Amino acid sequence: MHSILVADYMDHDPHAVTADSNVKDAVEILLKFGVIGVPVIDATSTVVGYLSEQDCIKEMLNDAFYCEEPSAVAKVMQREVLTVGPETSIVEIAQKILTNKPKNYPVVDNGKLVGLISRSHVLKALLENDEDCYLRK
């Protein structure tokens, strides 16, 4: 298998939110762009968390039940975020996806968010690589 990198398949313009955004606004981003989660960044584009659909459902259900104002993303985001670099191989990220919970990984370069790689990006890379194998035969 030739070397295929995260940088070749990642979303180079990922949607992100800040910790002080409210969960309702974050949900609107998830729905508008059809994504299952977003990195949470600070003013310098450093990843400080991750917000998933599941995090939002739990919080929105609680807010609806108690008729509360939407919470800040900081209250519900996951603070421990697994990230990868743009030079990470697709094989390595595929193995991470198989052994870890996240479905998406923020791509970080020099501490800053530069992309997002998802399971579907990895599948596309593996499929294209598989097709290349058939062409070489």
Residue-wise pLDDT for 10-45, tens only, equals 999 999 999 999 999 999 999 999 999 999 999 999
Residue 115 three-state SS: strand
Give 106's strand partners. Answer: 116
Stretch 80-89: mean pLDDT, rounded? 96
Q: Does 63 score more than 60 pLDDT?
A: yes
Supply the range of the domain harboring residue 58.
6-136
49/76 Cα distance (integer angstroms): 10
E strand or H helix that includes residue 38: strand 37-41
Q: How far apart are CA 110 and CA 92, in angstroms?
A: 19
Q: For helices 23-33 and 53-66, what crossing angle results, to 10°?
A: 130
pLDDT at 134: 46
pLDDT surpassing 90 at residue 6: yes
CATH number, domain of 75, equals 3.10.580.10
With respect to residue 109, please indicate whether it lies within any of the assigned structural domains: yes
pLDDT for the residue 67: 81
Q: Output the six-digit token pair for 89.
A: 């191989």
Instruction: Report the half-sphere exposure of 104 (CA within 13 A, side-chain side).
Output: 20
pLDDT bin (cut points 50, 70, 90) of residue 2 is low
Residue with structure tokens 């960044």?
A: 41
CB atoms within 10 A of CB 68: 10
Q: Is residue 44 part of a domain?
A: yes
First to last CA, the chain: 13
Mean pLDDT of the chain: 91
Evaluate whether residue 116 is within a structural domain: yes
In a domain, 50, yes or no: yes
Whether 26 is in a domain gets the answer yes
Q: What is the pLDDT of residue 3?
A: 72
Q: Is the pLDDT of residue 135 over 70?
A: no
Our count of domains for the chain comes to 1
In a domain, 64, yes or no: yes
12 within domain boundaries? yes
Cβ 46 vs Cβ 69: under 8 Å:
no
32 Cβ contact list (under 8 Å, min separation 6) = none
pTM surpassing 0.85?
A: yes
Looking at the domain assignment, is residue 1 inside a domain?
no
